[in-house]
């Protein structure tokens, strides 16, 4: 089933936000290992916003966490906004950017911002917490276990015994990192302890997941949680064995096939689950939901609240296939942010 796009306002977009030019501050960089990826996303976002007719301001967050504009450190004042901007676009990936930390700062500044709010950002960054919530909602997913560093250090044999319930091979991952950093595939029991220690170098919480069969499928969403646009599913075709950091960011490491070569029934199941998960975690603005599809079986893997955002990134390609080009996409996201802020209890009436 194809997804048609329209030039009409999306659900939740008020007409008073539609055509006026905006002053948009784009946040780039950040403290995570995805600093350089963020810089690339932000560069594309700035170009897209400029093409849509908006005034764009650049704020770079250093690897140490300093907020910089035109080379000067910024003083952030709660309730006073940022550089007179109408809205912020946090083009930040991973910890200290996509996990609710910066979203909390923007809430304190009383500045509308693109994307998920504090709670949804934090929830979706924590793979264990996210999967626990999916279990509560009866959402199909791969078997997994969460492991805390302190418990593994105190009782390693007990933890390894519990993990033996997951049939090998398994994937060991830091629970609160992005871009597939620190992942190891374990095919033999003697490799599990070392893989855990490697993942603990990135995070004190690690997730161990059973290996899923089938295709890696991704689906993009745009809009409010009640009635988002849901893209056609796309298939990730890998050059290597799994979707690691190199596959995501090395040219030729992966390619995207749209529409995914799956049955109509599986495609509809992907889109329905994407919509369900998006609403269940309270996402707003945008997200990409990742799946494993094997025949008619569809398993949810994870939800990314701020996926890579260049015009050639998976999210932008999926939305473009729905008929929304890049400059219109970033424009719509800013309008959605303004609308959400205007409806929030106690919103400052003069800012939007």
Domains of the chain (ranges; CATH) run 18-115 (3.40.50.20), 123-140+212-321 (3.30.470.20), 144-210 (3.30.1490.20)
pLDDT in the model for residue 235:
97
Sheet (strand 205-210) strand order: 144-148, 205-210, 170-174, 184-186
Tens-digit pLDDT profile for the chain (352 aa)? Answer: 334 333 344 444 444 445 789 999 999 999 988 899 999 999 999 999 999 999 999 999 999 999 999 999 999 999 999 999 999 999 999 889 999 999 999 999 999 999 999 999 999 999 999 999 999 999 999 999 999 999 999 999 999 999 999 999 999 999 988 656 789 999 999 999 999 999 999 899 999 999 998 999 999 999 998 899 999 999 999 875 655 555 455 555 579 999 999 999 999 999 999 999 999 999 999 999 999 999 999 999 999 999 999 998 999 999 999 999 999 999 999 999 999 999 887 655 444 3
Phi, psi of 118 (to 5 degrees): -55, -55
Q: Is 34 a catalytic residue?
A: yes
- What does the pLDDT read at residue 15? 44
Contact 232, 321 (CB under 8 A): yes
Inter-CA distances, 310 with 76, 255, 327, Å: 28, 15, 11
Catalytic residue among 31, 288, 332, 335: 288
Active site residue 223: no
Per annotation, catalytic residue among 203, 244, 290, 331: 290
Predicted local distance difference test score (pLDDT) of residue 156: 97
Q: Is the pTM of this model over 0.85?
A: yes
pLDDT of residue 349: 40
Q: Which of 125, 26, 118 is nearest to 333 (CA)?
A: 26
Q: For residue 238, what pLDDT is reported?
A: 81
| Full DSSP string of 9-35 | PPTT--GGGSSS--EEEEEEE-SSTTH
Alpha carbon 131 to its chain centroid, in Å, reads: 15
pLDDT at 346: 66
* Those residues with Cβ within 8 angstroms of residue 13's Cβ, 6 or more apart along the chain or in another chain: 332, 335, 336, 339
Is 203 catalytic? The answer is no
Q: For the packed helices 101-109 and 118-125, what is the interaxial angle rounded to 10 degrees? A: 170
CA distance linking residue 246 with residue 179, whole number of Å: 9
Q: Of these residues, 126, 218, 302, 339, which one is catalytic?
A: 302
The reply to whether 297 belongs to the active site is no
Rounded Cα–Cα distance for residues 333 and 145 (Å): 35
Is 301 among the residues known to form the active site?
Answer: no
Task: Please compute Rg for the chain using Cα positions.
Answer: 20
- Angle among Cα 253, 258, 264 to the nearest 5 degrees reads 130
Active-site hit among 29, 98, 308, 335 = 308
Q: Which of 38, 121, 179, 327 is catalytic?
A: 179
Neighbouring CB atoms inside 10 A of 153's CB total 11
The verdict on whether 340 is a catalytic residue reads no
Q: Is 64 a catalytic residue?
A: no
Q: Mind giving me the DSSP string for 59-90?
A: EEE-TT--EEETTEEPPP-TTS-STT-SEEEE
The first and second tokens of residue 295, run together, are: 């025949």
Closest Cα to residue 88, out of 106, 70, 76, 100?
A: 106
Whether 290 is catalytic: yes
Residue from 29, 34, 203, 332 carrying the catalytic annotation: 34
**Contact assessment for residue 159 and residue 197, using Cβ atoms and an 8 Å cutoff:** no
pLDDT of residue 314: 95
Catalytic residue chosen out of the listed positions 304, 313, 326, 327? 304
Structure-block tokens of residue 6: 């329209």
Measured distance CA(7)–CA(28) in Å, rounded: 29
């Amino acid at each position: 089933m194809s997804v048609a796009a329209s030039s009409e306002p999306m659900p939740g977009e008020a007409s008073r936000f539609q055509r006026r030019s905006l002053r948009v501050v784009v946040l780039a960089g950040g403290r995570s290992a995805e600093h350089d990826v963020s810089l690339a996303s932000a560069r594309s976002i700035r170009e897209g916003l400029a093409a849509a007719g908006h005034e764009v301001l650049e704020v770079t967050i250093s690897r140490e966490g300093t907020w910089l504009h035109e080379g000067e450190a910024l003083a952030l004042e709660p309730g006073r906004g940022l550089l007179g901007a109408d809205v912020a676009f946090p083009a930040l990936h991973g910890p200290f950017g996509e996990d609710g930390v910066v979203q909390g700062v923007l809430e304190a500044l009383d500045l509308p911002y693109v994307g998920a709010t504090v709670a949804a950002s934090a929830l979706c960054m924590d793979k264990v917490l996210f999967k626990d919530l999916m279990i509560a909602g009866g959402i199909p997913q791969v078997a997994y276990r969460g492991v805390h560093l302190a418990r593994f250090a105190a009782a390693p044999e007990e933890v390894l015994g519990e993990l033996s319930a997951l049939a090998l091979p398994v994937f060991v991952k830091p629970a609160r990192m992005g871009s597939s950093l620190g992942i190891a595939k374990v095919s033999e029991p003697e490799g599990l302890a070392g893989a855990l220690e490697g993942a603990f170098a990135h995070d004190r919480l690690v997730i161990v997941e059973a290996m899923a069969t089938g295709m890696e499928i991704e689906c993009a969403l745009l809009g409010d949680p009640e009635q988002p646009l849901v893209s056609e599913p796309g298939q990730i075709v890998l050059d290597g064995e799994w979707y690691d950091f190199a596959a995501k960011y090395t040219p030729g490491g992966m390619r995207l096939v749209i529409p995914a070569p799956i049955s109509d029934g599986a495609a509809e199941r992907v889109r329905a689950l994407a919509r369900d998960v998006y609403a269940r975690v309270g996402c707003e603005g945008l997200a990409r939901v990742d799946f494993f599809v094997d025949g008619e079986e569809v398993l949810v893997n994870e939800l990314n609240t701020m996926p890579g955002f260049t015009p050639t990134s998976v999210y932008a390609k999926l939305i473009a296939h729905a008929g929304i080009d890049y400059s219109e996409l970033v424009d719509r996201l800013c309008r959605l942010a303004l609308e959400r802020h205007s409806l929030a209890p106690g919103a400052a009436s003069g800012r939007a």
